[in-house]
Amino acid sequence: MISQSNDIEQQVLKCITPTAKEEQTLQKTIQILLKEIIKQLHQYKITITPQLVGSTAKGTYLRNDLDIDLFLVFPITTPRKTLANISRTVGYTLLADPEECYAEHPYIRGIYHGYKTEIVPCYHIESVANKLSAVDRTPLHTSYITKHLTFTQQQEVRVFKQFLHGIGCYGAEAEIEGFSGYLSELIILQYHTFQNTIDHASKWKPGITITLTPDDPPSFSTPLIIIDPVDPERNVASALSQEKFDIFVHACQQYKKTPSLQFFFPNPLKPWPLNQISEQLKNKNIIGVEFQNPGIINENLYPQLRKAARAMQEIAITYDFQIYRTCFYITKQLVGVVLFPEKNTISPTIEHTGPPVHLEKNVKEFRDKWLHHQDTIAQPYHDGKRWYVRIKRPYTNIIKLLQDQIPQLRLGKHLEPIVQNHFTIVRKPSLLREELRFFWTEQLDSKKPWER
């Protein structure tokens, strides 16, 4: 149980636990929604069961951060098209501001009586051995947590979730790459209390493995491995990035030394003025690649932007431009990838290394290739140990390289057609504009959320 002497965590719990009236209103809304869904489902000749899942079902939601997650559980014999069409119809009929999203099935999210709500289809399964898609295991997750998590531990989870929120590590979605709600619940099941979690996690090293069952866990190459007790072949922490793992461990170490409410409720980030941003970037080479925002949901946009940033960095490195950092920004109309090259221009020639002198066959092939090659500046030569040749570089200017090569890159299915149609290379002055102040502040401010 959270120690009565720990004033900070008691204050946090008081702030984040829903009041009796709020809980009553939520539960009444859920019951009304369930009745409306059942009424909608009566028109179909299939036995479809609506089931509440997620933090509202487990009693671990935060008063200011809750979703109503309702799954429509279909018989396993239902065609996928039927499953998708029915859940889509129900969602669009009942939710305000509906938006169609996609996991392994289409699902609808929107607003119901003021609450963020998702209506998600899945198949009824008794065990993960029968699952047809990843979402089919979600009702099993809810059942596992409600069975094993005590009321006291529900409160520990709430405090832990708020800590993760405060340090910027809560959420497994692509935008954040942090801790999911289910992951945080399993961690509390493992360590029992928030304080015990902090103590253990402050000593974590990349590759730490936790399992709540006696099964031998499979190996994964992620910083944190927590085996799903419902599906022993799955790592619940697979979405957690190295960056967020490092931030979390560091935050635990700092909280252990100096507990503070700032870890749970940090001051908001205030955008720097443009002159301060400009001063910070004064001695840095920066190049932006800007193109139209495809208007897709963040779950699809963020992975493709990360892929685009990697592809641009890799093609630059292939042609000997060293890129020491990449990042990206999103505005209403545009998205952009930012590259930080060591140099914008490089020497026009390079010494290309050939085979050792004693490998006669390889030497012959090397000399035959380069002796009269159009890029050869001088005849191949050796130093007694290895052959070399000095050749012209295909590109000496990174902007020219990007202009030529970016249309050929694999950037993701939504970005490729946009980039192939039009993109703009943006230099530093054009990147220092009002709408990017928050982006640049996030990139340049070295303070952690709890240090603001």
Q: What is the CATH number of the domain that holds 388?
A: 3.30.70
| C-beta separation of 166 from 220 below 8 A | no
For 402-419, what is the mean pLDDT?
94
**Domain presence at residue 4:** no
Q: Both 21 and 81 in a single domain?
A: yes
Q: Both 194 and 71 in a single domain?
A: no
pLDDT value of position 89: 95
| C-beta separation of 54 from 69 below 8 A | yes
Quick: pLDDT tens for 211-251.
998 878 888 999 999 999 999 999 999 999 999 999 999 99
pLDDT value of position 217: 84
- Residue ending a domain, choose from 107, 136, 165: 136
Residue 3 above 50 pLDDT? no
State how far the Cα of 172 lies from the Cα of 181, in Å rounded to an integer. 8
State how far the Cα of 395 lies from the Cα of 349, in Å rounded to an integer. 10
pLDDT value of position 66: 87
The pair phi, psi for residue 209, each rounded to 5°, is -120, 130
- Residue ending a domain, choose from 110, 136, 162: 136
Q: Both 429 and 289 in a single domain?
A: yes
Q: Both 445 and 318 in a single domain?
A: yes
Q: Both 125 and 239 in a single domain?
A: no
- The count of structural domains within the chain is 4
| C-beta separation of 357 from 381 below 8 A | no
**What is the amino acid identity at position 414?**
H
Least confident of 215-224, 251-260, 275-284, 416-425: 215-224
pLDDT value of position 344: 95
**Domain presence at residue 194:** yes
How much of the chain is helix, strand and coil, in % rounded to 5?
45, 20, 35
**Domain presence at residue 322:** yes
pLDDT value of position 1: 44
Q: Both 250 and 284 in a single domain?
A: no
For 246-263, what is the mean pLDDT?
96
Between strands 115-123 and 67-74, the pairing is parallel
pLDDT value of position 191: 97
**Domain presence at residue 8:** no
**Domain presence at residue 7:** no
Q: Both 306 and 383 in a single domain?
A: no
**Domain presence at residue 297:** yes
For 144-157, what is the mean pLDDT?
96
Q: Both 388 and 440 in a single domain?
A: no
State how far the Cα of 237 lies from the Cα of 261, in Å rounded to an integer. 26
Sequence-distant contacts of 416-421: CB under 8 A, at least 24 apart: 418/291, 418/292, 418/294, 419/291, 419/308
The two most distant CA atoms of the chain are separated, in Å, by: 86
Q: Both 234 and 290 in a single domain?
A: no
At residue 30's C-alpha, the angle toward residues 152 and 72, to 5°, is 100
pLDDT value of position 4: 38
Quick: pLDDT tens for 70-108.
999 999 999 999 999 999 999 999 999 999 887 677 899
The CATH number given to whatever domain includes residue 65 is 3.30.460.10
For 133-153, what is the mean pLDDT?
94
CA torsion angle 441 442 447 450 (round to 10): 120
Q: Which residues pair with 427 in a beta bridge?
A: 287
For 294-303, what is the mean pLDDT?
91
The CATH number given to whatever domain includes residue 402 is 3.30.70.590
pLDDT value of position 126: 85
- Residue ending a domain, choose from 136, 164, 192: 136
**Domain presence at residue 1:** no
Q: What is the mean pLDDT of the chain?
A: 94
Q: Both 377 and 242 in a single domain?
A: no
pLDDT value of position 104: 73
| C-beta separation of 104 from 97 below 8 A | no
**Domain presence at residue 444:** yes
| C-beta separation of 220 from 235 below 8 A | yes
Residue 431 above 60 pLDDT? yes
Between strands 386-392 and 381-382, the pairing is antiparallel
Least confident of 128-142, 250-264, 336-350: 128-142
User: 195: part of which helix (H) or strand (E)?
Assistant: helix 194-201
Q: Both 388 and 436 in a single domain?
A: no
pLDDT value of position 130: 81
Range of the domain at 358: 354-392
Residue 2 above 50 pLDDT? no
Give the distance, in angstroms, between the CA of residue 228 and the centroid of all CA atoms in the same chain: 19
Lookup: tokens for 161: 């979730």
Q: Both 163 and 258 in a single domain?
A: yes
State how far the Cα of 168 lies from the Cα of 217, in Å rounded to an integer. 29
For 362-377, what is the mean pLDDT?
94
For 1-6, what is the mean pLDDT?
49
